[in-house]
Amino acid sequence: MKIVVTGGLGFIGSHTVVELQNEGFEVVAIDNLSNSSIEVLDGIERITGKKPLFENIDLREKAAVQEFFKKHTDVVGVIHFAASKAVGESVENPLLYYENNVNALVYILQEMIKLPKANLIFSSSCTVYGQAEKMPITEDASVQPAMSPYGNTKQIGEEIIFDVANVTNLNSVLLRYFNPIGAHSSAEIGELPLGVPQNLVPFITQTALGLRKELSVFGNDYPTEDGTCIRDYIHVVDLAKAHVIALQRLLKEANQEQVEIFNLGTGTGSSVLEVITAFEKVSGQKLPYKIVPRRSGDVISAYANTDKANDVLGWKAKLTLEDALEDAWKWEKKIRS
């Protein structure tokens, strides 16, 4: 069965392609290589022995999207990762985010609803919750006004999918990720942050390797135990496996509603200082860091209630924060060797 993975050479996309191939799916990866590299295809092949079909398409080009779906009429599912995802950049350049994250989704949906089966797995984010009142966060927690254009594009994407499902054959699962980190244990694929990393873990591994002088901890005056922000860091391989399970749910028509929502996290919150301590343990080296003022837009705490994913989806994260940091560290050393 042919599955399209948009953003298939990206961080979460590439790990999901591996898990799809492990389950025997035929995969067509689409990527415009704006935040990934073609070598990722070889990394996937080294893990699974099978190079996925690949098409270099910019999903902002409506004609290119139409062309693609005319060619691949045997597609039974689409996992849509392709999007710009840097919160800070989205504030500076909102139109890039609305064009890339919203227009592309519209063009894909316009083609999908012409297929006999329209099964979409949508890459959403816990960012839609903003600063939720209650921890851990459940799927029925209210969606707060977005704190960035990036977050807004995820909220808009979810709303578009609900509206389209209302009047078409579209079936969809919205997966709200918490904080994806780590890399495949083979160190054949991982996170390729181009430029200065915005996210915590790639900045940690680059600092540990001496590529960065020290980590800046954005504030230790939050109302948490050690004063630093709390997040739910989930191993990217656990996250990838959840996508395959969600897709299989739609293919078996086991979904209870046309659109279903699941939080994907470990259910455990870790503070920035706890991540640093865990990294020092797995790497065996001290991490240089300094406390600096808070980063605007950061929420104090966000970690998932995973009951629905566990009970309904039948998925549970198996890998720990230390597993993820170990794999991230192994990957960083590999790509810089």
Q: Which one, 93 or 110, has the nearer CB to ligand WQD?
A: 93
Q: State the minimum distance, in angstroms, from the CB of residue 63 to ligand WQD.
A: 28
Query: Pick from 102, 117, 116: which is nearest to 163 by CA?
Result: 102
Q: State the minimum distance, in angstroms, from the CB of residue 280 to ligand WQD.
A: 15
Whether residue 150 lies in the annotated active site: yes
Residues that bind ligand WQD (CB under 6 A): 85, 87, 125, 127, 177, 179, 198-200, 203, 215-218, 229, 231, 272, 295, 298
Q: Which one, 43 or 197, has the nearer CB to ligand WQD?
A: 197
Query: Pick from 99, 158, 102, 104: which is nearest to 127 by CA?
Result: 158
The amino acid at residue 70 is K
Catalytic residue from among 97, 107, 129, 150:
150
How many Å apart are CA 28 and CA 3, to the nearest integer? 6
Q: State the minimum distance, in angstroms, from the CB of residue 232 to ligand WQD.
A: 9
- Stated length of the chain: 337
Q: Which one, 300 or 312, has the nearer CB to ligand WQD?
A: 300
**Residue at token pair 């509603």:** 257
Q: DSSP letter for 144, please.
A: P
Task: For 119-130, give one letter per residue: b (16+ CB within 10 A) or e.
Answer: bbbbbbbbbbbb
Q: State the minimum distance, in angstroms, from the CB of residue 244 to ligand WQD.
A: 19
| Alpha-carbon radius of gyration of the chain | 19
Q: Which one, 229 or 328, has the nearer CB to ligand WQD?
A: 229
Which residues carry out catalysis?
A: 150
